[in-house]
Every structure is written in structure tokens, then in C-alpha cells.
Amino acid sequence: NAGVTQTPKFQVLKTGQSMTLQCAQDMNHEYMSWYRQDPGMGLRLIHYSVGAGITDQGEVPNGYNVSRSTTEDFPLRLLSAAPSQTSVYFCASSYPGQSEGYTFGSGTRLTVV
């Protein structure tokens, strides 16, 4: 089925460990984004990309890196995990143009202990 695929669905990390959250879409969407969802705070934008080779910071980028080598993939890297990064992470993609909504993945629930 066409859509946004995130892996893993669940992950527990120890403080200081690194990991990569994977995101792939098969809809040829140019725009891709990473959000984190925390109770009472809605979704906050971490990083986004408007096309292959182009990335930029969102509202809460500290502690995260991204790259966009292909249109399909947009991995999110945690270089040194901290308990404050415990959250649910969503990847989303869309076509250009403000009238189109984003398609979201099913999320990765990350716990940092």
C-alpha cells in the first residue's frame, strides 16, 4: 500500500546511545518532515526537507540530524540520546503547495532511560 513507512515502531535506548529512525514514502512526495508528539504540546517540527539534498531545521532541531539523499527516504538520527527525547516521532510527506495535507506514518515510540 502506498504511504509513509516508519521503522521501528518501538525503541528503548539508554542515555548516550545513538540510533536512526527510518522513514520512507512511495508517493514521490517532494516534502518530508519529522515531528515529535508530546502530551499537551501537540506536534512540533524537528526537521524538514523540500527535496532531495535539501534539509532545514524546524522548531526543535537540537539533538537531531537528518539527510535526504533520495526522494523516498528521510532518516532521523539521534546522536546521543537524552531522556528529554522520549517521545512519539512521526514522519510525514506531501506534494508541494499549501492546499495539500500531509500523509503521516504510524509513528515510532521512543523511550530513553
> Is residue 40 a contact residue for another protein (CB under 8 A)?
yes
The closest alpha carbon to 107, from 3, 7, 2, belongs to: 7
Quick one: which of 33, 71, 85, 87 contacts another protein (CB under 8 A)?
33
The piece of 13-21, 65-73, 74-82, 90-98 that touches another protein (CB under 8 A) is 90-98
CB burial readout 80-109, b (16+ within 10 A) else e: ebeeebbbebbbbbbeeeeeeebbbbebbe
Where along the sequence are the contacts to another protein (CB under 8 A)? 4, 31, 33, 35, 40-45, 48, 50, 56, 58, 90, 92, 94, 96-107
